[in-house]
Amino acid sequence: MKVRVREIPERIFSYGVMLFTFLISIFPLVWVVVSSFKTNKEILSNPFSIPKTLDFQVYSDVFTQYNFLSYFKNSLIVAVTATLIAVFIYSLAGYIFGKFDFRGKNFLFVLCTITLLVPGYSRAQPIFALINKLGLYNTKTGLILVYTSFGMALALFILRLSFASIPRDFDEAAIIDGAGFWRIFWNVNLPLAKSGMVTAGVLMFIQAWNEYFYALVLTADEANRTLPVAVQFFNEAFSYNYTRLFAALTLVILPGIIIYLLVQEQVQNSVASSGVKG
Amino acid sequence: MKNKWVKLWIAAFLAPTIAVLCLFYLIPILTVLVTGFTDWNGMSKPVFVGFDNYVKLISYDNTFLISMKNLFLWSLIAATAHVGFGTLVAFVLYKKRFGWRLVRGAFMIPMVISSAAWAMIYNLIFNDEYGLINNGVRKLGFGNFHVSWFYESPAAFFAITLTWLFYAVYVTLIVYNDLMAIPKEVHEAALLDGASEWQVTRFINIPLVKNAIATGIILSVTARIAGFEEVALTSRGGPGNDTYNITLMLYDGIVNYQHGYANSAATIMILLGMLVMVIINRAFKMNERTY
């Protein structure tokens, strides 16, 4: 029993830290969601109160007015396309880095991954100039190109490892069966690297879905604006209609949370492993 | 398959990645470093002006110096309190007390939502009229408590700090990963030798996650160098230029077509990023093996 008594302060401390961590992570979001169901008057009179009714009217208002649907579609198109392209081209490279040898391979890999250490926004002006020169200013294609470039280092880390861990016996068996280079990649290796591709894809989707700085710099009107940029305009557009402001914020944060909850383990593992190697 | 064909395939598979590397990384970084020494509006030909942009950064007004002061203070807070908290959470989770998975999962959520939305949420939390902080304090009995957090100095600095201070889940995950990699036998041997729980933590676990903590410091300070949303969407650098940072200066430079000037600020960002790497690597002797 003596040991148990000694453990008590430590337990209180541990649970205290856990509770604090949980609350600071969840409470702001719960507050936003709950507030979106309150009337303007309720929000102003007491920010801690619980809504009296569950009225979804405000959500359909936000969706039908203010072009919310258009922002949402832009975000979805940009994030999904960029993720698909990125996973594909970095899988090609990851396969080579994981399974083949050639002169300068290590140098090239280090060069690709060391880019992780250059502060992302420092390349803003040249990228702005490049997108302008390609005639892609204020287009979704421009944003897709930029977001495709984003996760390069991280994706290569993850994908090289996935491909390297696929036994070479499979390749040799396929060669004996007369399979060519592309078929060995596409039919033999790619299916086995799926979990790595999902991990990299999830990380890149979340990054692209949430990106703000380049979306702000590279788009000019609502036809091409994504949700994170739109957030800024909600503040003005919903002047003094706080219910709508909270509802709009809820709609912006929800997709990311849902996707995360679906693939929690993968996200956590990839953050941990990429951090160590980064 | 002939060897020549394999070589061609390898080149073809690498081509898109190499194109991205060149177009979005190598050429931009080179452009930044070179045009930082030019007067350039982004369209006409850049004119070489030596160190003029850098002189202008320091002497035009005090925005750059204030940005550097803010960066220094924020980096210090990030490297100590922020990384410290993330590490603490990792050590607590490592005990696998009831509910640890839920806490780890929840801690991750602020990282997966848009930091623009997160900044907006904090804007609302700190709102004087209907925000949580001020109303909470008023409910505690300080009926006259009114602070316009993002519009007053020095409140704005602290309010911005609070938008990221505790959200160190990547530090937690990296440190936790390293804790899990410590062989069980090490702990068993120490406990058999009569070491206390605290001694195990202090003399075995902390030294063995040293590299993870150093990585956490590098990542968190780098995040401060490139911080944008938490300032742009809350105080917008104000009041005055009290909470300005380099990214905001870079943004101003780009939208005002002072691209040479913007790139001199970007050069400073790159150099600072490298400096942080070198300092932390030295301080933690990261290249030495721990066990």
Examine the domain organization and report whether B157 and B72 are in the same domain. Answer: yes
Residue for token pair 């949402």: A72
- Cα separation, B162 vs B230, in Å, equals 10
Kindly state whether residue B140 falls inside one of the protein's structural domains.
yes
- Among A55-59, A238-242, B151-155, the range scoring the smallest mean pLDDT is A238-242
* A76 has a chain B CB within 8 A of its CB: no
Distances (CA, A) of B118 to A55, B224, B234: 24, 16, 10
Examine the domain organization and report whether B70 and B22 are in the same domain. Answer: no
Examine the domain organization and report whether B79 and B7 are in the same domain. Answer: no
- Cα separation, B2 vs A180, in Å, equals 11
The amino acid at residue B35 is T
Range of the domain at B22: 1-35
CA B180 to chain centre: 25
Examine the domain organization and report whether B21 and B130 are in the same domain. Answer: no
Kindly state whether residue B157 falls inside one of the protein's structural domains.
yes
- Cα separation, A54 vs B267, in Å, equals 52
Kindly state whether residue B272 falls inside one of the protein's structural domains.
yes
Radius of gyration of chain B from its Cα atoms, rounded to whole angstroms: 24
Examine the domain organization and report whether B64 and B27 are in the same domain. Answer: no
Examine the domain organization and report whether B15 and B79 are in the same domain. Answer: no
* Residues paired with B39 in a beta bridge: B47
Spatial neighbors of B100 by CB under 8 A, at least 6 apart, are: A18, B92, B93
Question: Which tokens hold the place of A227?
Answer: 């949700």
Evaluate the omega torsion of the peptide bond into residue B110 and state whether it is cis, within 30 degrees of 0.
Answer: no
Examine the domain organization and report whether B25 and B163 are in the same domain. Answer: no
**Torsions phi, psi of B102, nearest 5?**
-60, -45
Kindly state whether residue B274 falls inside one of the protein's structural domains.
yes
Q: 3-state SS of chain A? A: CHHHHHHHHHHHHHHHHHHHHHHHHHHHHHHHHHHCCCCHHHHHHCCCCCCCCCCCHHHHHHHHCCCHHHHHHHHHHHHHHHHHHHHHHHHHHHHHHHHCCCCCHHHHHHHHHHHHHCCHHHHHHHHHHHHHHCCCCCCHHHHHHHHHHHCHHHHHHHHHHHHHCCCHHHHHHHHHCCCCHHHHHHHHHHHHCHHHHHHHHHHHHHHHHHCCHHHHHHCCCCCCCCHHHHHHHHHHHCCCCHHHHHHHHHHHHHHHHHHHHHCHHHHHHHHHHHHHHC
Percent of chain A with pLDDT over 70: 95
Kindly state whether residue B291 falls inside one of the protein's structural domains.
no
CATH number of the structural domain spanning residue B261: 1.10.3720.10
Examine the domain organization and report whether B90 and B59 are in the same domain. Answer: yes
**Torsions phi, psi of B39, nearest 5?**
-95, 120
User: Which pLDDT score, from 0 to 100, does residue A276 have?
Assistant: 41
Kindly state whether residue B173 falls inside one of the protein's structural domains.
yes
CB atoms under 10 Å from CB of B61, counted, come to: 11
The segments of chain B whose pLDDT lies below 50 read 290-291
Examine the domain organization and report whether B116 and B24 are in the same domain. Answer: no
Tell me the average pLDDT of chain A.
87
Q: What is the mean pLDDT of residues A221-239?
A: 82
Domain count for chain B, please give it.
Answer: 2
Q: Smallest CA–CA separation between A25 and chain B, in Å? A: 5
In the predicted structure, residue A65 carries a pLDDT above the cut 90: no
**Residue B236 DSSP class:** T
Which of A47, A130, A232 has its CB closest to that of B130?
A47
Q: Coil, strand, or helix at residue B48?
A: strand
List, for residues A117-128, the tens digit of each pLDDT value: 888 899 999 999
List, for residues A15-35, the tens digit of each pLDDT value: 999 999 999 999 999 999 999
- Cα separation, B40 vs B261, in Å, equals 8
Chain B's closest residue to A232, CA to CA, is B233
Kindly state whether residue B207 falls inside one of the protein's structural domains.
yes
User: Which pLDDT score, from 0 to 100, does residue B287 have?
Assistant: 59
User: Which pLDDT score, from 0 to 100, does residue B2 have?
Assistant: 64
* A184 has a chain B CB within 8 A of its CB: no
Half-sphere exposure of B45 (CA within 13 A, CB side): 2
Identify which of B24, B230, B157 has the alpha carbon closest to the alpha carbon of residue A126: B24
Examine the domain organization and report whether B13 and B77 are in the same domain. Answer: no
Examine the domain organization and report whether B1 and B144 are in the same domain. Answer: no
What ipTM does this complex have? Answer: 0.89
pLDDT band at residue A1 using 50, 70 and 90 as cut-offs: very low
In the predicted structure, residue A139 carries a pLDDT above the cut 50: yes
* B283 has a chain A CB within 8 A of its CB: no
* A28 has a chain B CB within 8 A of its CB: yes
List, for residues A80-129, the tens digit of each pLDDT value: 999 999 999 999 999 999 999 999 999 999 999 888 888 889 999 999 99
- Cα separation, A274 vs A277, in Å, equals 5
* A84 has a chain B CB within 8 A of its CB: no
Cβ-Cβ contacts under 8 Å, B23 against chain A: 130, 149
Q: Are strands B47-48 and B38-39 parallel, antiparallel or unpaired?
A: antiparallel
Kindly state whether residue B41 falls inside one of the protein's structural domains.
no
Identify which of A72, A82, A83 has the alpha carbon closest to the alpha carbon of residue A225: A72
Question: Which tokens hold the place of A161?
Answer: 């490892």
CB atoms under 10 Å from CB of B237, counted, come to: 21
- Cα separation, B6 vs A254, in Å, equals 46
* Residues paired with B255 in a beta bridge: none
**Residue B154 DSSP class:** T
Would the CB atoms of B117 and A112 count as touching at under 8 Å? no
Examine the domain organization and report whether B163 and B275 are in the same domain. Answer: yes
List, for residues B2-55, the tens digit of each pLDDT value: 678 889 999 999 999 999 999 999 999 999 999 999 998 878 888 899 899 999
User: Which pLDDT score, from 0 to 100, does residue B12 have?
Assistant: 95
Would the CB atoms of A212 and B114 count as touching at under 8 Å? yes
In the predicted structure, residue A266 carries a pLDDT above the cut 80: no
Q: How far apart are the first and last CA of chain A?
A: 46
- Cα separation, A189 vs B131, in Å, equals 53
Taken in order A132, A137, A139, A140, the sign of the CA dihedral is positive
